[in-house]
């Protein structure tokens, strides 16, 4: 399964603000199904990596404490025309990736 990412980014003065909306259920594994009495299986993003022109700029570890369909906004050193790529992996092995060229 692929994790879907929608991204935008703009550079100003050598600093780019990258905004990403990620479609993912982010289930912690602690919530119970009322009908069956069993917990919903854990499914959450545990690795986020942002790179600029192939060079890693941000490496983050997330957990089940992040809300469903998370929104992320970060600032990185980048100029107009640079390529920014966001890569994700969840605890079940699903991955997602998207990239943009900055304006």
Domain ranges within the chain, ordered by starting residue: 4-101
**Position 1 pLDDT exceeds 70:** no
**Position 58 pLDDT exceeds 90:** yes
CA contacts within 13 A on the Cβ side of 80: 3
Query: Are the CB atoms for 75 and 18 separated by under 8 Å?
Result: yes
Among 2.60.110.10, 2.60.40.10, 1.10.260.40, 3.30.70.1400, name the CATH number for the domain at 4-101: 2.60.40.10
**Greatest Cα-to-Cα distance within the chain, rounded to the nearest angstrom:** 55
pLDDT tens profile 4-41: 999 999 999 999 999 999 999 999 999 999 999 999 99
């Amino acid at each position: 399964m692929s994790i879907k990412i929608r991204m935008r980014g703009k550079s100003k003065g050598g600093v780019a603000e990258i905004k990403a909306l990620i479609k993912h259920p982010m289930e912690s594994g602690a919530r119970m199904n009322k009908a069956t009495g069993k917990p919903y299986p854990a499914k959450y993003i545990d690795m986020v990596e942002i790179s600029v022109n192939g060079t890693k700029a941000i490496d983050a570890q997330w957990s089940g404490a992040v809300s469903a369909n998370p929104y992320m906004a970060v600032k990185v050193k980048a100029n107009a025309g640079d390529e920014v790529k966001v890569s994700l992996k969840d605890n079940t092995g699903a991955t997602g990736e998207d990239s943009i060229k900055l304006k």
